[in-house]
Amino acid sequence: MKKKKLIISTLVLLIIIIASYLYSNRELNSLKSGEILPIQWSNPYKNNEKPIQITDHNQKLSNPNVHITPVYYLPQSKEIHFGLWFNKWSYRSDQIPDRVFQTTIKDENGKQSENELVTRVTSGWFEEFHYRSIPVDLTNQNTVEMTISLIKENGKQVIPKESSTITLSLAGKK
């Protein structure tokens, strides 16, 4: 009888832990699966702008070890939006929490955009998700390079430690 109670108690505890995990990570899981777009509107009440999806699926970068959602472009606002998530114990910033990574966009003419904005951070049990946006005009561009760098801050100087670059093809998507 005691064995049966122990098994039932263990199963109930396991179900409670799994349900708690799923419930507390529901927003993070929706963002990662694409159910929620990683877009923070600057004016959500007067905005009828339709985002253009540039990439088709999530991508895993190896150096640094992060994942990014599909990348979206808002043509009227002239902004690229995407989400970036990572294991929260792998990367930490002692100074500014959203300054663990830096994203830059370089167009075909060599013009670089670095005015990245982390508009919101969502944390789960084991992962952290950042909404990212970068103001950039993609008019007359066929491809741009997006570089995500793990950074170290030394005073006001930002030093990239590890970087991954992906090429975003814009042909037929604008």
Question: Looking at domain 2-169, does it have CATH number 3.10.150?
Answer: no
Q: What is the pLDDT of residues 128-140, one digit of tens each?
A: 888 888 888 888 8
C-alpha to C-alpha distance for 29 and 25, rounded to whole angstroms: 6
Q: How many helices (H) and strands (E) does the chain have?
A: 2, 11
Each residue's pLDDT expressed in tens, for the chain with a length of 174 residues: 788 899 999 999 999 999 998 888 888 888 888 888 888 876 665 667 888 899 888 888 887 888 999 999 988 888 899 998 888 777 765 545 556 788 889 988 888 887 777 767 777 888 888 888 888 888 888 888 998 888 877 777 777 788 888 888 887 665
The stretches of the chain forming alpha helices (DSSP H) are 2-24, 26-33
Domain ranges of the chain: 2-169
Cα 130 versus chain centre, distance? 5
Work out whether the CA dihedral 152, 40, 80, 34 comes out positive or negative. positive
- Assign 22 to helix, strand or coil: helix
**Residues 81, 141: Cα–Cα separation, whole Å:** 17
Contacts of 73 (CB under 8 A, 6+ apart): 51, 52, 54, 79, 80, 81, 138, 170, 173, 174
pLDDT at 16: 94
* Three-state DSSP class for residue 101: strand
pLDDT tens-digit readout, 107-121: 888 888 877 777 677
Q: Which two tokens stand for residue 66?
A: 């992060």
Count of beta carbons in the 10 Å neighbourhood of residue 134: 19
